[in-house]
Amino acid sequence: MLQVSYIRDNREQVLERLAVKNFKQPELVNEVIELDRNVRSTKIYLEKIQMQMNATSKLIGELMRSGKIEEAEAIKTGVTELPGITSLKKLKDISKDESEKLAAIEEELYQKLVLMPNLPHSSVPKGLTPEENEVVLENGDKPNLPENALPHWELATKYNLIDFELGVKITGAGFPVYKNKGAKLQRALINYFIDEAEKAGYSEVSVPLMVNEASGFGTGQLPDKEGQMYFVGEDKLFLIPTAEVPVTNIYRDVILKGEDLPVKNCGHTPCFRREAGSYGAHVRGLNRLHQFDKVEIVQIAHPDKSYETLELMSLHVQGLLQNLGLPYRVLRLCGGDMGFASALTYDMETWSAAQQRWLEVSSVSNFETFQSNRLKLRFRNAEGKTQLPHTLNGSALALPRIVATLLENNQTEKGIKIPEVLVPYTKFEWID
């Protein structure tokens, strides 16, 4: 959520930035500013009234205690008015009206504010569609596979690694069953990713897979993306769509010490996404699932350092891909393709050689203060005042598409070759 004070003081810039994100309701900016003005003037008036009420009540208390009951009663009922004192009854009526008015305006302001996405960073390219994302860099050699190369879903069957049909039987489409070396490969990747994150200074957390409404709101999934999450109605809990939600919410309502920054956490969780409306060939196999595993890295950074941090996180993810020997590219998402809460997002895609297409395996974002404002996450700055830090997170990495690319790109006559860095984790070198 954007800060009203920022919108108020930077109207032109806000409008310009929102345009980059193709925000369809720029009129909200002026409406928010107007409502804010209204909130503040109403507040000032209400507080004056409350001040008088408090003073009068205090006076009555003193009169009562010193035995001047009649005088006190007179003020209460408004029969007499002492100099400078309006009758309490009248003040109460005004106070009630103004409070209701204030609550209504604040609610309206809030409703408009939550519709506004985060402002994109100045480096975000304009654009509407994924085609307009900027390719920042491409790295690694795309393998030349033989004519008879198989896509991962056929390899998975051939080597008995993943059973999609069994998942359908147990749960439904998009919930695959990993078997044998398929299951071991997955577990190896998770451990490898966690170990690498810890080496990079992230401390591991293991968090709940269901979150309450407040947490969903804190990181921005609610109210906008309610339909993307599985909801356990009986207990009003949401299955997490990403570890970002529980991990970042660790710091909800927290005031960090300045020296605590940056906070670095990593964690592995399954992720659950309804992906309503996504069907067809491009979601085959592991390409898009309702449940998948992911290792997430999360940072809370000083506002002055957050873009430096974002680059480091991007490099961390790239390092993993390099170590796994996967060709990849880094995209800077354009305004139209970015998430609602993000100020700058890099997507990492690996080249899936058998499908001849890029697959998104990571998304690294800086949310600036958009989340911390909602989370009421603050830190104490050098002046000792509370300030909103920047939150960042990224996948490092999402499992299924990594598995898909590894299977496809590393297929040979004699089987699938496991990348060297993974062998200590898988304890086998070949899937054959």
Partner RNA sequence: GGUGAGGUGCCUGAGAGGCCGAAAGGAUCAGUUUGCUAAACUGACGUACGGGAAACUGUACCGAGGGUUCGAAUCCCUCCCUCACCGCCA
Q: Which residues bind RNA (CB under 7 A)?
A: 5, 40, 43-44, 46-48, 50-51, 53-58, 60-61, 64-65, 76, 88, 92, 255, 378, 386
For the CA atoms of the chain, what is the radius of gyration? 28
CB 271, min distance to RNA, A: 22
Minimum distance from residue 176 beta carbon to RNA (Å): 24
Q: Which is nearer to RNA, 76 or 417 (CB)?
A: 76
58 versus 357: smaller Cβ distance to RNA? 58
Taking the least distance from each CB to RNA, the nearer of 383 and 413 is 383
Which structure tokens are listed for 133? Answer: 């994302």
Q: Kindly tell me which of 40 and 179 has the beta carbon lying closer to RNA.
A: 40
Give the nearer residue to RNA in terms of CB position, either 37 or 427.
37
Least distance between RNA and beta carbon 3 (Å): 8
Report DSSP letters for 301-327, one per residue.
Answer: E-TTTHHHHHHHHHHHHHHHHHHTT--
Packing angle between helix 88-113 and helix 69-77, nearest 10 degrees?
A: 50
* 246 or 336: CB nearest RNA: 246
Q: Is 298 helix (H, G, I), strand (E, B) or coil?
A: strand
Q: Tell me which DSSP letter residue 278 carries.
A: -
Q: Considering beta carbons, is residue 66 or 278 the nearer one to RNA?
A: 66
CB 383 within 8 A of CB 330: no
Residue 269 Cβ, how far from RNA at the closest point, in Å?
Answer: 18
Question: Of how many residues is the chain composed?
Answer: 432
Q: How far apart are the first and last CA of the chain?
A: 51
Least CB distance to RNA at residue 185 (A): 25
Asked if omega into 223 is within 30° of 0 (cis), the reply is: yes
Residues with Cβ < 8 Å from 44, sequence gap 6 or more?
none
Nearer to RNA, 64 or 137 (CB): 64
- 35 residue type, one letter: L
Q: Which SS3 state, helix, strand or coil, does residue 380 take?
A: strand
Distance CA 379, CA 369 (A): 12
How many Å apart are CA 364 and CA 281, to the nearest integer? 27
SS3 for 345? strand
Residue 303 CB neighbour total at 10 angstroms: 16
Q: How far is the CB of 64 from RNA (least distance, A)?
A: 5
Written as one letter, the residue type at 237 is: L
Residues 391, 384 contacting (CB under 8 angstroms):
no
**Smallest distance from RNA to CB 44, Å:** 5
The one-character DSSP state at 343 is S
CB nearer to RNA: pick between 41 and 278: 41
DSSP string, 99-159: HHHHHHHHHHHHHHHTTSPPPPPTTPPP-SSGGGSEEEEEESPPP---TT---HHHHHHHT
CB of 268 to RNA, least distance (A): 19
Question: Least separation, in Å, of the C-beta of 195 and RNA?
Answer: 26
